[in-house]
Structure 1
Amino acid sequence: MNDQTMSAPLLHPSAPSPASDGGTLKMTARNVNVFYGAKQAIRDVSIDVTQENVTAFIGPSGCGKSTFLRTLNRMNDTVSSARVEGRITLDGEDIYAPDMDVVQLRARVGMVFQKPNPFPKSIYENVAYGPRIHGLASARADMDQIVEKSLRRAGLWDEVKDRLNDSGTALSGGQQQRLCIARAIAVDPEVILMDEPCSALDPIATAKIEELIHELRGRYAIVIVTHNMQQAARVSQRTAFFHLGTLVEYGDTSEIFTNPRETRTKDYITGRYG
């Protein structure tokens, strides 16, 4: 990866089209299969992600929900044995096309991981890192504004504004996760992927992250993987249930939890397995 690629300006294609459920279609997946060597982890998954809704992926451990999430910004490219088949689009553009700039893609489709992973840098530099490599700020004042805006959106500014030069790793777990969210949104993404962002956090920190998800809804298309069905019910408007690498059911969260169409979904929701 050369410096010229790293500093290329971010490109935002034309506006997305309407989705079948009335929302604004942001990403689509059609007939997606994922393999790790000879083992198939995802089988023929098709799904739409809309701008207005938080979409939750639920299902038992090992069902493929995190693997599928990682296909949405090509994180599986980092696994040498991984192979993805099918078509995934962002604003109608095939993200697996040979000419897709993966650096830009991951700026447009940001990722927040299960365990908070701040860089061993200052709070300020954690947030400034992405905008700096993408050339989004031409002056220090511009960068200051981006850092403050991102920390405010992540609900962290008031807690850290007087110690921006302190290490990001010195923050509490919940603060570190919000710092990682601030880092993700600092490059002005269009989609935020969250892979079990609260699993390592205490209930108070979890509540803050869930409140933040509510506040960010609509500004970004958000997809969250969670093992916590109550969390999925609280934060999402659309829910996808995965089982054994297949997408069993996808629809309005209220319908999935109160009137699922599929027996496997009902059995999982009611705790018969999982």
Structure 2
Amino acid sequence: MKRVEARGLCYSYGRGQAVEDVSLYAERGEFVGIIGPNGSGKSTLLKCLYRAIKPQKGEILFDGEDISKMSYRETALKTAVVGQENDVLFEFSVHDIVAMGRSPHKRFFDRDTAEDERIIEHALEHVGMADEAHRRYSCLSGGEKQRVLIARAIAQETDFLILDEPTNHLDVSCQLDIFDFIKRLNLTVIAAIHDLNMASLYCDRLYVMKAGRVFREGTPAELLTPALIREVYGVTAEAELHPATQRPAVTYLPEWALDKNK
């Protein structure tokens, strides 16, 4: 049984379809990437999956069960979400942010138990932030903030993680560090990824979005070709299997280089 499956999803913001007849799935333990240019529908699709918005058509199944028939608490027990590093309006500590991951497991006025504290501490240790538990979240670097948000997802104790371009604004070292860590968790992951080389390195399969639709689906080796990159992104690129990773390595060719070789 597929861990998650979407069938025929449609969503419109009133100015044309942001997502149109999109179907996808992820097997248990699979790392699935969603790529495509800005405005292609990646984030809208993910918002449908984690119920930030309700698709106007189609259905989403978790373990074969229609999520529209689940409570939001039930969905939160099955799914954790990590987006781009975001500002927090109040001065929460690192511990407080991670503790929010325990909310789906508790009633409204329940206090944290010893078991909750054990899970929070374990999550912070897992991402190397245990010594920073009492620091203010707002004072952390971008990479540290993302580690804390991943720790919050770990504390939520789900096996399905949705990522919405979580490393888009981070330096290369932080991107590799975070994706390495997520890969080691062996969860089911669906991730919108901006960087094609990161998508190539970490994803088992890719869905290419274009104008709100799934344009192509396949492995990185099947999809990350010069022809597809040209057709979807409108840029010239080379893509060759790297000998160390056996994954496509994409090199973009600027206009001045193309003019020089004419």
The structure with more radius of gyration = 2
Return the letter of the residue paired with 2:136. S
**1:126 match:** 97
Judged with a 3 Å threshold, the aligned counterparts in structure 2 of structure 1 residues 231 and 184 are, in CA distance, closer, same or farther, namely same
Aligned to 2:106: 135
Q: Shift of the alpha carbon at 1:270? A: 8.1
Whether contact under 8 Å (2:40, 2:210) holds in the other structure is yes
Deviation at 1:64, TM superposition (A): 0.5
CA offsets 1:111-135 (integer angstroms, 9 cap, x no match): 1112344563111111112314522
Query: Which of 222, 232, 248 is residue 255 of structure 1 equivalent to?
Result: 222
- Calculate percent identity across the aligned residue pairs: 29
> Which residue of the partner structure matches residue 84 of structure 2?
114
1:91 matched to 2:63? The reply is: yes
For 1:209-220, what aligned pairs fall within 5 Å after superposition?
A: 209-216=178-185, 218=186, 220=187
Find the aligned partners of 1:66 and 1:213 in 2 and give their Cα distance: 19
Which SS does the other structure have where 1:162 is aligned? helix
For residues 97 and 30 of structure 2, the distance between their equivalents in structure 1, rounded to whole angstroms, comes to 28
Unaligned runs of 5+ in 2: 238-251, 253-262
Aligned 8 A contact 1:117 1:177 in 2? no
Report the aligned-residue RMSD. Answer: 2.5
| Secondary structure, counterpart of 1:178 in structure 2 | helix
Does the aligned pair in 1 maintain the 2:161–2:190 contact within 8 Å? yes
Aligned partners of 2:87 and 2:150: how far apart in 1? 10
Alignment of 1:11-22 (within 5 A): 17=1
Give yes or no for contact 1:26–1:90 (8 Å, CA) kept in 2.
yes
Residues 126-164 of structure 1: CA distance to partner in whole angstroms, max 9, x if unpaired?
1112314522998643122101221233x223xxx3342
Are residues 132 and 111 of structure 1, via their aligned partners in 2, closer, same or farther at CA, if it must alter by over 3 Å? closer
CA spacing shift, 1:107–1:189, aligned 2, 3 Å? same
Distance in 2, matches of 1:189 and 1:254, equals: 30
Q: Against the structure 1 CA distance between its residues 117 and 221, is the aligned structure 2 distance closer, same or farther, given a 3 Å change threshold?
A: farther
Q: What residue ranges of structure 1 are gaps of 5+ in the alignment?
A: 1-16, 18-24, 78-82
Counterparts of 1:156 and 1:116, CA distance in 2: 20
Supply the AA of the counterpart residue of 1:144: E
What is residue 271 of structure 1 aligned with on the other side?
235
Q: Matches of residues 15-34 of structure 1 in structure 2 within 5 Å? A: 17=1, 25-34=2-11
Mapping for residues 50-89 of structure 1, pairs under 5 Å: 50-77=27-54, 83-89=55-61
* Corresponding residue of 2:248: none
Q: Which runs of 4+ in 1 moved over 6 A?
A: 136-139
Q: Alpha-carbon deviations, 1:69-110, whole Å to 9, x = none?
A: 111111125xxxxx521111000111123xx21133134211
What is the TM-score normalised by the length of structure 1?
0.77
Instruction: Give, in whole Å, the separation in 2 of the partners of 1:146 and 1:271.
Output: 46
The structure 2 residue matched to 1:224, chosen from 181, 188, 191, is 191
What is the total number of aligned residue pairs between the two structures?
A: 235
Which position in structure 2 is the counterpart of 1:203? 172
> Quick one: distance in 1 between partners of 2:220 and 2:27?
14
